[in-house]
Structures are given as structure tokens and as C-alpha cells.
Structure 1
Amino acid sequence: MNHGDTPETGRPEIPTRLLVHALVREDGTVDAGELYAVAGLLGMTDQQVRLCVKRLVTEGRFTREGRGRKAVLRAVADATGAVAPDAGHVRHAYRQDHGLAPWDGIWHLFAFAVPESRRTARDALRGTLLHLGAAPVQGGLYVSANPIAEPVEAQARHLGVLDTVTFLTSTDLRMGDTGDPRRLAAAMWPLEEIAARYEQLAAFATACARHLASGPRLSGAERLTLAVELAAEFTRAMEPDPLLPPELLPQPWPGSRARRLAQECWTALRALPAAHGTPTPLPRLFRLYSDAVTPPDGQ
């Protein structure tokens, strides 16, 4: 495969460290030969790879047996967190896509007044709310369309600021003279930016599926390269998505289409026969993503 045939527009830069984590196999090892081959297809230099491996070993994240391309890296702990999707987050997205998670019309609000002396805890609580998809309404007040009170409470308790947080729900949220739920969502979340990321994912997944259907058999390194790129594109689109219910989103919403195309591409990629008829162990990444994007039962 000519790697230049795969889509370039909007492709996120893949850090060398993330690539190493992405190639961890089920037995916790990384084949250095595969690592250098995939890195080369991604435009990384051998020097980049050598320096990255050296840092990971120095940090105690991996051990190394052998040298150069014949080396084997072994993860000291689970190294897939950097590339593994949040399976619960992804599954909820696919449930929404299949109409299995309709909105109940309830807004979940969180107000907090953490003193300046606890600024670190305040910033951590704010970061948790944003990570869970909540949006700021005004200073110290955040809102979510999804029921995230449990993890917010757990984090506030962990930070020792639970007594400063107020939890409430409402079916009658209004900002100024705007009370229409869809208009509120458009005002509080960057929907155009989120949609643009999904358009890039859809473009990459479409080109990837077309290439897999019509191109020659891929080498092992080429197959791994596409898998890493697809995972990176998927994460780039999904991580900032608050997963607003479809009732609050413009329709048609590009996220639904992009996730469907990514699932189809991932299924085709995993089903590829081994190059030259020689099977090689697949990275843990294949199982993690396949598990996460499995459609809901009966769909």
C-alpha cells in the first residue's frame, strides 16, 4: 500500500509515546521491529523512536530486552490507558445513535463556591465537570444534560470540597429569554467545533474503508498503522464530545454517521487476513476498540 493513499486532511499528529502504547500486545510486549516499521509509515524517524523508548525505560514504564529492531519491550504496568477509549462513554454514544438513550428532559446543575485558598481543588473539580461534558452557565455554575451527579460527588468528596457543592435538577432551564433546549445547547456547547471533528473522522473512515475494499493486501505494519490512525481520529472526535442527547443536537448530526463509519472500518480492519498468510499477535488496541464500538444487543 502506498501510505500516501490514505487520507491526510485533518489527521492528528500521533506522538511517538502514544504509538508505543498503541502497539502493546495482549501479553504486554511491544515488538521493536513493528514499532520502527509503523513509526516510519507515520513519518517518524528512527531517532525519535530510540529517544522515546529510552525515556519510557528510564521512567520505569517498560523494560527492554535486546537492542534496536530486534528488541522486545515489556510494559511494567497497563500501558493502554493512553489509547484505550472510555468504553462506557463510547457505548453510551452508540446507544444514543440507536435511539436507546432518549433524553428525559432533565438538566443536571452543579454550583460550587470553593474558596481561593483551595484553588487547586477548585480547578480539579472544574476539570472533572468539563471532562464529564458539563458546560459553564456562569461563574461557579455548570450544567449537563446527562446524569453525572455520582462521579461529580465522588470527585468533590475526594477533593474534600463536597460541602461547597450544590446539586440540583431542573426541567425549566432558561438563560435570558432563551428557554428552548436545543437553542440552549447551541449556546453552551461548541457544537460546530465538535461537528467538524466528526466530519474529519468520517472522511478518514470512508477513505480507509474504500482502500481496504479495493486495495492490495496490507502488510502487517500497514495494517497496524491504519489501526493506530483510526484510533487516534476516533479519540480526537470523541474525547471533547459531551454526548448531548439527540433531542438537543442539529439533525442530521455528523457524530452518528462518523461513529457508524468508524465501526465499519474497524470491523473491516480487524477481519483482514494476515499478510503472506502468517498471523502475528495483534495489539491489545484491536480488542479494546472492538469491544467499545460493539453495537447494543439486538442492533
Structure 2
Amino acid sequence: MNHRDTPETDRPEIPTRLLVHALVREDGTVDTGELYAVAGLLGMTDQQVRLCVKRLVTEGRFTQEGRGRKAVLRAVAAGATGAIAPDADHVRHAYRQDHGLAPWDGTWHLFAFAVPESRRTARDALREALLHLGAAPVQGGLYVSANPIAELVEAHARHLGVLDSVTFLTSTDLRIGDTDDPRLLAAAIWPLDEIAGRHERLADFARASAGHLSREGSLSGTEQLTLAVELAAEFTRAMTPDPLLPPELLPRPWPGSRARRLAQECWTALRALPTAQDAPTSPLRLFRIYGDAIAPPAGQ
């Protein structure tokens, strides 16, 4: 059974490991019967699931009680949800921007560092942290962000033991060559076409899924879980590399705000479905995390 009417090739690509983490319940367990059922709807084979579970248990990430489809996995780490879980503060900030609640003050935040080769691991980790926080390289060792992330950068640098090698500064008159227009600078520094493309994909998926929900009226518990995981995967794929540039720096219309609105509407429709007979007795952590993250800003 195809649980929605979008083409098979349009389904998000979800690694089996990610699926296991996504199905962790609030009590820290994964029902392998649900795991195999959802995996089947996602086109995964039983062998893929068995091998993945075996690896996760061997790595010490889960313990296993029982065998096969009647087994229960228990997450060793209390917060296990895998990379499919969003950064709630990052998502809330995106929705605040969408509602005009986080206007840009015209300040660029810059970070320069010169970490020696002997500390390459720390240097690479700092670079990854900057990229994760939405900063982008201007030239070697110099990164810029349109958002005030200095405290977060400092925390990462301090943790890595390289704070003394990082310079923090702000500017309201950034210029690269002859370009000083903020919109043109943003277009030159960040890969806006790639970011927009991921949001367009999220928008298409959320719109198609919401339409399917309105036509079907109800889904089995397994189908609800599958759609929730797919929506979460698409949302994370769109949001995780998004620097959340202020709307003042983005092309208009910007697909990010539209995609987030459609994802919010789809998630709300999914959560409003009648409880299915085969629904989990303990809700997924994923439901709570996303429910908290994409809730409309206060006063909206």
C-alpha cells in the first residue's frame, strides 16, 4: 500500500539508522514491530532493519529485549532521537522571522581564527560549528553571520580550547570588493539557490501530504508514524543547513517561509487525526519535539 499519492521517487531518503532513532518513544523504547512496519512502507527490507539494529546494539546505543518483530529496543542515551530531531531554538527563530518578529538591525557578525596545524582537529571542529550556526566563509579563516551568534561561537571555541585564537567583531558596513549592498553580499556569500531548492522540496512534500490527509480522513497508526518521520526528515533536510538569513537579505518571495508554513499546517493536520487502534501506547519523542518547535509564536 502506498500511504500517499506522491510518486515513490519523491519520498525522502531516510537511512535505516535514522528511522530507528526517529521511532524512539517517550519511555525510551522502540517497538520493533512498528519499526519493521514503517520500514516496509519506506521501501526498506527486513534484512536492512536487522543489520541496522544489530549495529546499533553492538555500538552500545540501544539494548535489545526479545527477538525479531516482538523485540523491544531501549535507547541508552536519554535524548536519543538521531539527526532527525530539530534544534528547537533554531526552528523557533525561523518562525519568528517568518512572522516579522526578528527584524535585522543591519549588523554583520564576524569571526576570524588562526588555529595552528598542530590543532587541526579543534580547528576543523570550530569550522563545522560556525557552518552549523549559519556563518559562511568570506576568505580563509574569516566567517560572517547576519545573526548574533557570538555567544554560541565563544562557547564552542572555549570547549575546544581555542578561544584565544578567535577574534570577534561586528560591522555595519561590510564590503567585499566593490559590493556593499547587503542583499548582494548575502547572495554572494551564501548558496541561496541550494537553500531555496531544499525548501521548495519541503513545500512540495508538505502540500502533497496535507492533501492526502484531507482526502483520506484517517490513517493507520503505522501510516501516521511513517508520514511523521518523512515530514520530519524533509523538514530537517531543509532547515539544518539554513543560515536563517533575515528576510531583509533574501530574495522575495523566499520559499523558506512558505515551506515552513506548509510544514506547520501538515504537522497540525497529522496530529489532529483520530487515534488509530495500532497507535503507540507511548507517544514518540519526535512528536513532542516537533510539536514544541513548530508551534506558532506567542500572540500569533
TM-score by length of 2: 0.96
Which AA in structure 2 matches 1:114? V
Q: Is the contact between residue 4 and residue 212 of structure 2 (CA under 8 Å) also seen in structure 1?
A: no
1:170 maps to a residue whose letter is: S
Q: 1:24 to 1:278 in 2, by over 3 A?
A: closer
Q: What residue number does 1:14 align with?
A: 14
Mapped to 2, the partners of 1:124 and 1:24 lie a distance apart of 28
1:109 equivalent in structure 2: 110
Q: Cα distance, 1:48 vs. partner?
A: 0.7
Superposition deviation, residue 28 in structure 1: 0.9
Residue 216 of structure 1 deviates from its aligned partner by: 5.1
Q: Secondary structure at the match of 1:260?
A: helix
Give the Cα separation in 2 of the matches to 1:8 and 1:295.
31
1:139 and 2:175 are equivalent in the alignment: no
| Contact 2:222–2:278 under 8 Å retained in 1 | no
- In the other structure, the counterpart of 2:268 is 267
Deviation, structure 1 residue 81: 3.9
How many Å separate the matches in 2 of 1:279 and 1:237?
A: 28
Deviations 1:188-222 (A, max 9, x none): 00000000000000000000000000115211111
**Cα gap change, 1:62/1:278 in structure 2, threshold over 3 Å: closer, same or farther?**
closer
CA deviations 1:157-200 (Å, max 9, x no partner) are: 22222222111100000111100000000000000000000000
Partner of 2:179: 178
Deviations 1:78-136 (A, max 9, x none): 21143211000000000000000000000001111112222222111111111111111
1:280, distance to aligned residue in structure 2 (A): 3.7
Distance 2:267 2:8 in 1: 18
Alignment identity in percent?
Answer: 85
State the 1:271 CA deviation. 1.2
Distance 1:4 1:267, change over 3 A: closer
In structure 2, what is the equivalent of residue 198 of structure 1?
Answer: 199
Q: 1:140 to 1:278 in 2, by over 3 A?
A: closer
Following the alignment from structure 1 to structure 2, what is the Cα–Cα distance between the partners of residues 255 and 113? Answer: 34
Q: Distance in 1 between matches of 2:217 and 2:246?
A: 41
Partners of 1:217 and 1:243 lie apart in 2 by 35
- Rate the CA distance shift 1:183–1:8 in 2: closer, same or farther, 3 A: farther
- Against the structure 1 CA distance between its residues 274 and 85, is the aligned structure 2 distance closer, same or farther, given a 3 Å change threshold? same
- Deviates further, 267-276 or 29-38: 267-276
Counterpart amino acid of residue 60 in structure 1: G
Alignment CA distance shift 1:8-1:172 (3 Å): farther
1 CA distance for matches of 2:254 and 2:268? 22
Q: For residues 279 and 90 of structure 2, what CA distance do their matches in structure 1 show?
A: 35
Q: Report how many aligned residue pairs link the two structures.
A: 299
Give 1:19 shift: 0.5
Of residues 28-37 and 80-89 in structure 1, the stretch that sits farther from structure 2 once superposed is 80-89
Gap change, CA 1:277 and 1:29, over 3 Å in 2: closer
Shift of 1:278: 6.8
Given that 2:221 and 2:277 are in contact with CA atoms closer than 8 Å, whether structure 1 keeps it comes out as: no
> Shift of residue 59 of structure 1?
1.5
Partners of 2:167 and 2:218 in 1: how far apart? 57
Bigger mean CA deviation after superposition, 76-85 or 5-14: 5-14
Contact map agreement 1:112 1:166 (CA 8 A) in 2: yes
Question: What RMSD, in angstroms, separates the aligned Cα atoms of the two structures?
Answer: 1.5
Q: 2:246 is matched with which residue? A: 245
CA spacing shift, 1:25–1:276, aligned 2, 3 Å: closer
Partner of 1:53: 53
User: Counterpart amino acid of 1:88?
Assistant: D
Distance 1:131 1:279, change over 3 A: closer
CA gap of 1:40–1:256, structure 2 versus 1, over 3 A, is same
Task: Letter of the 1:194 partner, please give it.
Answer: I
- Aligned pairs for 1:213-232 (under 5 A) are 213-215=214-216, 217-232=218-233
CA-CA distance at 1:7 after TM superposition? 4.8
Segment drifting more, 234-243 vs 82-91: 82-91
Structural mapping, 1:277-292, within 5 Å: 280-292=281-293
CA contact under 8 A between 1:12 and 1:236: conserved in structure 2?
no
| DSSP-derived class of the 1:5 partner | coil
Match of 2:92 in 1: 91
Distance change (3 Å), C-alpha of 1:223 and 1:277: closer
Q: Contact (CA 8 Å) 1:145, 1:244: kept in 2 or not? A: yes
